[in-house]
Amino acid sequence: MIWRWLVGIVAIVLILLTPISSGLAQPAPTDVTDAQFELGDKLRTQAFTATNEGDFAKAEQYWTKLIELFPQNPAIWSNRGNSRVSQNKLNEAITDFNKSIELLPDRPDAYLNRGTALEGLGKWNEAIADYQYILSIDPKDAMAYNNLGNAYAGLGEWDKAIKNYVKASEIAPDFAFARANYALALYQNGETAEAIRNMKNIVRKYRDFPDVRAALSAALWQDGQRGEAESNWVAVIGLDSRYKDLDWVRNTRRWPPNMVAALEKFLKLQ
């Protein structure tokens, strides 16, 4: 599974069309009955409830029923793609995102979601193309810059990754995930002191951000600040125990190699 803390991780959930919702500028089909719209609202609520509960297989079933009702609705196709990404059904998800893009080519959401799925398949250059297309539509899309940084990180092009994380943070100063990714990339580039400084600043503002606390624990341990490292680690375990799993950190969260190595040494108390 590729779902990550950043968001990168992050796939954007599109909303349904009028009259179920008025989120996208596309008219509702005129040949749909009131009963069908009522059923659509019910299925949408069930899909989001299942998603919030982490039952992505059930959410996929609801989105599939909605597609049967409203096959020309691009938002529903993209939402089903999101539920499939969350189950690591990446190729099927990309098929859904492709359909959403076919129905509404100039909406950035499905490109962002497809890029995330492409990253999960290691298709970095294809993901980069999707993010760059979003930025050609909206050059102030902070999420696209963050994800573009992730894709360059996947290629090991850390200077480019850093540049894009900085841009994301400039556009959206409260975008904590972009700031976290920037700090991790700095650490990978050997800028240890600056990385630690940024991590501390993030933790000061977002005390319950386990990703950065875990990274800070590892970085401080390597820097010889072992008491402070252990103090941060106590908070990490209380927030998210997955950071004890190096395989998850390496392959799902996808920390940079140097950061993973530092965490491994910390966990082994070397």
Tell me the per-residue pLDDT of 208-230, one tens digit each, with 9 for 90 and over. 999 999 999 999 999 999 999 99
Helix axes of 176-188 and 158-171: crossing angle, nearest 10 degrees: 160
Distance CA 262, CA 121 (A): 26
- C-alpha 91 chain-centroid distance: 17
- How high is the pLDDT of residue 150? 97
pLDDT at 102: 97
pLDDT of 30? 52
Residues of the chain with pLDDT under 50: 1-28
Residue 180 is encoded by which pair of tokens? 């976290």
pLDDT of residue 176: 96
Q: What is the pLDDT, as a whole number, of residue 143?
A: 97
Determine how many CB atoms are found less than 10 A away from the CB of residue 191.
15
All structural domains of the chain, each given as residue ranges with its CATH number in brackets, are 1-121 (1.25.40.10), 174-270 (1.25.40.10)
Show the tokens assigned to 150. 């992730």
For tokens 């009259």, name the residue.
19
Summarize pLDDT for 109-163 with one digit per residue, the tens.
Answer: 999 999 999 999 999 999 999 999 999 999 999 999 999 999 999 999 999 999 9
> Which pLDDT score, from 0 to 100, does residue 34 have?
87
| pLDDT value, residue 269 | 86
The pLDDT of residue 29 is 54
**CA-to-CA distance for 123 and 106, rounded, in angstroms?**
22
